Amino acid sequence: MTVPVTRRRLPLRRRAPDPVRPAVAPLLAAHRAAYPGADEAALLRGYEVAERLHRDQRRKSGAPYITHPLAVAMILAEMGMDTTTLVAALLHDTVEDTPYTLGEVRSDFGERVAVLVDGVTKLDGKRWGERAEAETFRKILLAAADDLRVLVIKLADRLHNLRTLGFQPPHKRARIAKASHELLVPFAERLGIHVLKREMDDLAFAAADPAAHAATERAVTLALRGAPAAFAPARRLVRASLAEHGVTGRVEIRPSHLYAVHRALDGDVTGLRPCEAARLLLVVDGAEQECYVALGAVHAAMHPIPGQVRDFIALPKYNMYRSLHTRVITPDGDPIEVIIRSRDMHPVAEYGIVAHIRSAPDEATSTVAGRRDLVWLSRLLAWQSGVPSAEFLDGLRADLAEGSVAVFTPTGEVITLPDGATALDFAYALGAATGGHCIGALVNGRLVPLSAELRSGNVVEVLTDPEGVPSEEWLSFAVTAPARVHVQRWLARRRAEEAAETGRGRLARALAGRVDLLSAEAHGDSLAVARALGYADVDQLYAAVGSGALDLADLLPRFKRS
């Protein structure tokens, strides 16, 4: 009898779980929602490299360092940024904080990722010293001229650092909050990325002034509880009026962010009302013409406050923002702000340049060249060249200062300038040559001095004279960095020329009867002396003599007797 052999079935070996996918799964899901056919392999590889390189590093909170680049990439994914940007975000600290080199980034992930990582990599503080911060910002700006995604990554990086700022010591919290309000938040505003600006504003506010932030948060929370009831009559009237005018769309209550409320009320938030903590937002379904019909409908429903209509559709802001703003009186007698925009305008109003990059994700969309809506950045890049670090940072803060006026050239071109800008600033905004030879201006047809302060809507014509030159007095009313930098450069050149002329005269007199200075210059002897002493040319040598930096007694023996 044959006994059948029973084969024992071995249990199936379970595949070891992939430790990477759970950590990066939310990022993949967010990116897939915006780009269904995205290259997930590139993101997984970027995460794996970043996690391996940062494995032994910790954040101040004690969390693994990889949580930071992963969070930065998640912020960008939620805004709908492309795969290249997300990979660069995952790797953005590797070159700065690990042995990984830029060449390795380029080899492993390609040229574009390497450009973005290099753009956001800070300069070595030990090597650059006090100049490191200024030169890092200059580097970021120059990189952003080639690819605006550098600035977008930098903003997301700062947002996450602000979210985790509580783990930093108090002095560092204050410094980061100040730098954020002075430099990073204005960049978010200039690029129109208001979803980042609002949160960065509030987080920096909380770090800079915790007591004021807490008071504002309590007041706004309380006011917003009453907002649905307070805004209900206005919403009902607006909806009815929109229907009568044949306009469809949504009408919603839009809370203001905390820092905006704090600034608008100069910190006095006692008894804050719903109309001070929120606005009405109308997003109409039709084209931009429907926005103007909606404006008429709002004014038909409630009494408009005279002089409070601002048209950012016909005249968009420098950051691509387009909407109509008006203020009206509600049936309860409260003044409220109403914002009107189309569905097409809404993504740009929230995401600014990101919306443009997202709608056309090619490299041309991410560059400054040819974008009239980013002319402010082109001007910033133009004046920064050659400016010393300290002056550059001060100029950058001034250039990015909040508030702006929009003025027109006689041909209708819009020039955006900061609040308080003068006719001189306008002249330099047209170009260094125009500014350097200006002698006055016509504002709305009336002759005004160069110190005249401009208002939005002014039509300005600059008057020039080929013989006109900058004056020391101009620095007392030049507001913009381009104007101040160009005036200072011209004055420095003039002082150098005067010093060189004085120094040459002194040297010629001291050499008289022994050496013919004109002949020495013609034969290159003067240049040889200048180079031997470390000066680039004879004018620098003469200027040193004229200013007293170089003693004639040390110089005369170097000239051979004719």
Q: What is the pLDDT of residue 12?
A: 47
Q: How far apart are the first and last CA of the chain?
A: 131
Does residue 21 register a pLDDT over 90? no
For residues 378 and 384, what is the distance between their CA atoms, to the nearest angstrom?
10
Confidence class for position 180, pLDDT limits 50, 70, 90: very high
Contacts of 495-499 with C-beta under 8 Å, sequence gap 24+, read 496/539, 496/543, 497/539, 498/546, 499/542, 499/543, 499/544, 499/546, 499/547
* Bigger pLDDT: 358 vs 43: 43
Residue 412, Ramachandran bin (φ over 0: left; ψ between -120 and 50: alpha; else beta): left
Does residue 154 register a pLDDT over 80? yes
Q: What is the pLDDT of residue 278?
A: 96
State the average pLDDT over residues 76-86. 94
Residue 223 corresponds to which tokens in the numbers above? Answer: 């006011």
State the average pLDDT over residues 314-324. 88
Highest mean pLDDT among 4-18, 118-132, 525-539: 525-539
Residue 332 corresponds to which tokens in the numbers above? Answer: 């309860």
For residues 171 and 208, what is the distance between their CA atoms, to the nearest angstrom?
10
Which H helix or E strand runs over 442?
Answer: strand 438-443
Q: What is the pLDDT of residue 10?
A: 45
Catalytic residue among 39, 96, 124, 268: 96
Confidence class for position 363, pLDDT limits 50, 70, 90: low
Does residue 323 register a pLDDT over 70? yes
pLDDT digits (tens, 9 = 90+) for 85-131: 999 999 999 999 999 999 999 999 999 999 999 999 987 666 677 77
State the average pLDDT over residues 175-197. 91
For residues 445 and 254, what is the distance between their CA atoms, to the nearest angstrom?
41
* Bigger pLDDT: 531 vs 367: 531
Confidence class for position 548, pLDDT limits 50, 70, 90: confident
State the average pLDDT over residues 151-164. 95
State the average pLDDT over residues 75-79. 95
Confidence class for position 1, pLDDT limits 50, 70, 90: very low
Catalytic residue among 40, 48, 78, 97: 97
Confidence class for position 18, pLDDT limits 50, 70, 90: low
Residue 160 corresponds to which tokens in the numbers above? Answer: 């996450």
Confidence class for position 398, pLDDT limits 50, 70, 90: confident
Highest mean pLDDT among 187-196, 516-525, 536-545: 187-196
Based on the residue annotation, tell me whether 96 is a catalytic residue of this protein: yes
Q: Name the DSSP letter for residue 184.
A: I
Q: What is the pLDDT of residue 15?
A: 47
Tally of CB atoms within 10 A around 301: 23
State the average pLDDT over residues 462-482. 92
State the average pLDDT over residues 275-281. 96
Q: What is the pLDDT of residue 6?
A: 47
Q: What is the pLDDT of residue 369?
A: 52
For residues 304 and 306, what is the distance between their CA atoms, to the nearest angstrom?
6
Q: What is the pLDDT of residue 201?
A: 95
Q: What is the pLDDT of residue 3?
A: 45
Longest dimension (CA), the chain: 136
Based on the residue annotation, tell me whether 97 is a catalytic residue of this protein: yes
Q: What is the pLDDT of residue 20?
A: 59
Q: How many Cα atoms within 13 Å fall on the side-chain side of residue 164? A: 16
Q: Counting beta carbons within 10 angstroms of the beta carbon of residue 398, is it exposed (0 to 12), middle (13 to 18) or buried (19 or more)?
A: middle
Q: What is the pLDDT of residue 562?
A: 56
Q: In the predicted model, what is the mean pLDDT of the chain?
A: 88
Q: Counting beta carbons within 10 angstroms of the beta carbon of residue 66, is it exposed (0 to 12), middle (13 to 18) or buried (19 or more)?
A: buried
